Amino acid sequence: MTRDDIKDLILEIIKDIDEDADFDTLQSDQPLRDQLDLDSMDFLDIVMELRKRHKLQIPEEDYPQLASLDSCVNYLEPLLKNA
């Protein structure tokens, strides 16, 4: 997956969680939680969806890596390079 593919994947998962989510003003280097209506349970939904869609087992200590769109891409890029 390219970096753009991963970005799209994350946004698609967030859209599934909250179809009212507005990405127009989303800053990719800022925490997603500060910009969207997401809480800790929603982040667990993202983790679960990555597990379901790509069999990724993300350890709990790595959850902070999913804070912003950019950090998601950075963290997931090596894990999804063959996806």
Partner 1 sequence: MDSNQQRIVITGVGLAAPNADNLKDFRKKLLAGISEIKEINLRYFGPAPAGICTFDETRYRKKKENKRGTRAGCLGVYCAHEAMADATLDIDYYDRSRIGVYIGLTEHGTVETENEIFNISQYNYDVNYWTHHHNPRTVLNNPAGEITMSLGITGPHYAIGAACAAGNASLIQGVQMLRLGEVDMALAGGISESTGSFGIFASFKAQGALAEAEDPRQACRPFDIERNGIVVSEGACIYVLERLEKALERGARIYGEVAGYCINSDARDFVLPYGKRQAECIQQALNRAGLKAADIDIINTHATGTKQGDIEECKAIRQVFGEAPATYINNTKSIIGHAMGAAGVLELAGNLPAFEDNMIHPTINVSNLDPECALPNMVLNKPTQLKSVSTILNNSFGMVGINSVIIVKKYED
Interaction site with partner 1 (CB under 8 A): 17-20, 37, 41, 44-45, 48, 51-52, 57
Measured from the CB atom, the residue of 43 and 77 that comes closer to partner 1 is: 43
CB of 33 to partner 1, least distance (A): 14
Q: Which of 29, 7, 11 is nearest to 76 (CA)?
A: 7
For the chain, report the end-to-end CA distance as a whole number of angstroms: 6
CB of 31 to partner 1, least distance (A): 19
For 13, the enclosing helix (H) or strand (E) is helix 3-17
Residue located via tokens 């994947």: 9
Q: Which of 68, 80, 64 is nearest to 26 (CA)?
A: 68
Measured from the CB atom, the residue of 41 and 82 that comes closer to partner 1 is: 41
CB of 58 to partner 1, least distance (A): 11
Measured from the CB atom, the residue of 3 and 39 that comes closer to partner 1 is: 39
